[in-house]
Amino acid sequence: MAQTITEKILAQHARRESVRPGENIWIDVDILMTHDVCGPPTIDIFKREFGENAAVWNKDKLVILPDHYIFTEDPHAMRNIEILRKFAREQDLPHYFDVGTSRYKGVCHIALAEEGFNRPGDVLFGTDSHTCTSGAFGLFSTGVGNTDAALIMGTGKIWVKVPETMRFVFEGDLPPYLMAKDLILSVIGDIGFEGGTYKALEFDGKAVFDLSMEERMTLTNMAIEAGGKNGIIAPDEKTFDYVKARTDHGFVPVYGDPGARYYHERVYDVSKMEPVVAKPHRPDNLANVSEVEGTKLDRAYIGSCTGGKIEDFMAAAAVLEGQEVRVDTFVVPASTEVTQALRTRTMNGKTIWQVFLDAGCKMGHASCGACLGGPVDTFGRTHGTEVVISTTNRNFPGRMGSKQSAVYLASPLTVAASAIHGVITDPREVLV
Amino acid sequence: MKEHIRGQAYVVGDSIDTDQIIPAIHLVYSMTVPEERQFYGRYALSGLPEASQGLPHGSTPFTPGDAFKSPYSFIIAGGNFGCGSSREHAPFALQEAGAEVVIAESYARIFYRNAVDGGFVIPFETRVRLIDEIKTGDVLSLTTGTGILKNETSGTEYLLEPLGDIAEILKCGNVFEYARQAGMMTQR
Ligand code: SF4
């Protein structure tokens, strides 16, 4: 039976020839990831169910990445890190990336890629809804809660319902004023933010394979904003190069069969697409930038697993170079590796970091930052009625802190162009 | 899973995301330490904007004032309930406040899974747009086995969608018991 890449990976991990959408199956998990917000309660449940002194099912397959509430004085948040630290010591975990050490990484989804944990053909679960990001590397990855994570922690297994696959094909050449963020916001706007519920979202077509791994991650990252179970892109040479540069661990790539059944298929010509935003307060509240141009802003934010990668900052820096921002602009690298790159890569003889500083941006530490609001002292958090344009992925009421603030989601190019003018601005106006 | 559940309804709108169910700032409380976990009850649904707190009138907090428990056992919602993050704190907070059932037109899948696998609240689905028919404060009674819901205040009866595959997990109490019965986890 012809199967999609998602069905095939799931079948292999259920040790079966094939699976059908809608079936409930038990599968083996290759990697489990957790972080500082959901790790501690997961550990509590694990101990409750498997015993105070139980060992995790496989030390090499558990990755713990504190990233959410890091640079804060909040005592409860600090206690969470202590709990992770203690657990990592108890269990002698090789993949714990502690805060305050040179091992600290930052946002989990980016760190998983950078540290070589995203391997084609694998199954990866994480206690974070944006775990679907890893699917950019041709693996099945999805977010779960603490209870499911605790079950995996103890057994290495979990039940899943095999999703139907929706395919989004992007053809044509991507114009320089568009980024992957515009493509995925358009998809979410088109199918609605529950249009992909329980479904696998597969991205395909020349324009997708033209993208770098980082940009592909922006596509799969936001699969969850359409309700999707996982986002996935078949692996190619770029995937293999990235993974091999980061790990010696072997992997077996999996591809969909010709003739596999798709529940839904949509084809886009990227050369005809427009820079877009998601207006407050839903990620599917789509508008062309031209429709909201001139909207007055109080703040711009460049960061998160969606828009805080090296290429996101390179794109923003190209716009901000030699310019000055008119609104408070917060820059939060997703990972310490990204910070490092900003401090070493240059543009017209200046480091990228300096480009942002000279443009008047405020620079933060690698972490989730204000992407999800966080404790009151979080860098970039909203506290009032701020109107924000942001490279992050969610704009529900209160997501960046204050329930009264309003968040527009856009690409790093659009955010940077808007920061310069203090109003929402089409990147075509500033790109030369 | 209880056979009969009776209590008051709390009605909310469409696409209530996890930040509205439990704002991220509160996620630092321990979910096990009793003095701390009760704050999840206090702040359950506290992220709802004022106008959507308890429809049709709004301005009715789910958990009033400084209380830790909510007077409402049923949450009646529109589509895509629980969208957003994977935080299990969301169904947990509803349970901690005293809610037992959510009845929505549809769910975001991680919330749905968490509600079931953790055994926090029973997520029923409805084809009827109950948020237009039921008012916050109406007294409801539900028979979980049949899915028959009665609005005692208005006298109307509804048939909810069958629970399907998840009924097995709900009967076990949570996913661990279910895994033991499926032979995926050794018996304790
Ligand atoms: S950056 Fe934002 S979306 Fe990404 S993991 Fe952190 S909080 Fe979640």
Residues A131-162 have pLDDT tens digits of 999 999 999 999 999 999 999 999 999 999 99
Which residue of chain B comes nearest to A70, CA vs CA? B28
Do the chains contact at B179 and A155, CB–CB below 8 Å? yes
* Chain B nearest CA to A322, separation (Å): 37
Do the chains contact at B114 and A145, CB–CB below 8 Å? yes
User: Phi/psi at B186 (nearest 5 deg)?
Assistant: -70, 145
How much is the pLDDT for A130?
98
Domains of chain B: 4-161 (3.20.19.10)
Binding pocket residue ranges, ligand 1, CB within 6 Å: A 68, 107-109, 128, 130, 304-305, 368, 371-372, 392-393
pLDDT-derived band at B186, boundaries 50, 70, 90 = confident
Average pLDDT over residues B150-172: 96
Count, in order, helices (H) and strands (E) of chain B: 6, 7
How much is the pLDDT for B188?
57
Q: Which CATH number is A277-429 given? A: 3.30.499.10
Q: Which of A275, A273, A254 is nearest to A202 (CA)?
A: A254
Q: At what angle do helices B89-97 and B34-43 cross, to 10 degrees?
A: 90
The residue whose CA has the least distance to atom 4 of ligand 1 is: A305
- Check pLDDT > 80 for residue A241: yes
Do the chains contact at A193 and B118, CB–CB below 8 Å? no
The alpha carbon of B181 and the centre of ligand 1 are apart by a number of angstroms equal to 36
Q: Distances in Å between the alpha carbon of A159 and those of A93, A303, A329, B79?
A: 25, 34, 43, 25
Do the chains contact at B85 and A373, CB–CB below 8 Å? no
How much is the pLDDT for A432?
67
Average pLDDT over residues A107-118: 98
A-chain residues near B49 (CB < 8 A):
397, 403
**Start-end of CATH 3.30.499.10 domains in chain A:** 5-248+260-267, 277-429
Q: Which CATH number is A5-248+260-267 given? A: 3.30.499.10
How much is the pLDDT for A197?
93
The alpha carbon of A107 and the centre of ligand 1 are apart by a number of angstroms equal to 7
How much is the pLDDT for A399?
94
Query: Which positions ≥6 away from B76 have C-beta within 8 Å?
Result: B9, B10, B11, B12, B103, B104, B130, B131, B134
- Check pLDDT > 60 for residue A211: yes
In this predicted model, what pLDDT tens digit does every residue of B117-144 receive, in sequence order? 999 999 999 999 999 999 999 999 999 9
Tokens 């008012």 identify what position?
Answer: B135
B-chain residues near A128 (CB < 8 A):
85-86
Do the chains contact at B110 and A74, CB–CB below 8 Å? no
pLDDT-derived band at B184, boundaries 50, 70, 90 = confident
Chain mean pLDDT for chain A: 97
pLDDT-derived band at B40, boundaries 50, 70, 90 = very high
* Chain A nearest CA to B153, separation (Å): 32
The terminus-to-terminus CA distance of chain A in angstroms comes to 51
Q: Distances in Å between the alpha carbon of A219 and those of A46, A144, A267, A390?
A: 33, 20, 15, 16
What is the value of ipTM here, to two decimals? 0.92
How much is the pLDDT for A1?
87
User: How far is the C-alpha of A274 from the C-alpha of A12, rounded, in Å?
Assistant: 40
* Tokens, residue B101: 């059932």
Which residue of chain B comes nearest to A199, CA vs CA? B109
A-chain residues near B29 (CB < 8 A):
76
* Chain B nearest CA to A352, separation (Å): 32
DSSP letter for each residue of A17-58:
S---TT-EEEEE-SEEEE-TTTHHHHHHHHHHHH-TTPPPS-
How much is the pLDDT for A143?
97
B-chain residues near A197 (CB < 8 A):
80, 106-109
Chain mean pLDDT for chain B: 96
pLDDT-derived band at B185, boundaries 50, 70, 90 = confident
How much is the pLDDT for B187?
58
Q: Is the pTM of this model over 0.80?
A: yes
A-chain residues near B78 (CB < 8 A):
none
User: Phi/psi at B150 (nearest 5 deg)?
Assistant: -120, 130
Shortest CB distance from A194 goes to which of B19, B24, B106?
B106
* Tokens, residue A228: 């999707």
Q: Which of A191, A179, A186 is nearest to A313 (CA)?
A: A179
How much is the pLDDT for B61?
98
Do the chains contact at A227 and B28, CB–CB below 8 Å? no
pLDDT-derived band at A202, boundaries 50, 70, 90 = very high
Do the chains contact at B110 and A144, CB–CB below 8 Å? yes
Q: Which of A198, A42, A393 is nearest to B84 (CA)?
A: A393
In this predicted model, what pLDDT tens digit does every residue of A342-388 receive, in sequence order? 999 999 999 999 999 999 999 999 999 999 998 999 999 999 999 99
Percent of chain A whose pLDDT exceeds 90: 98
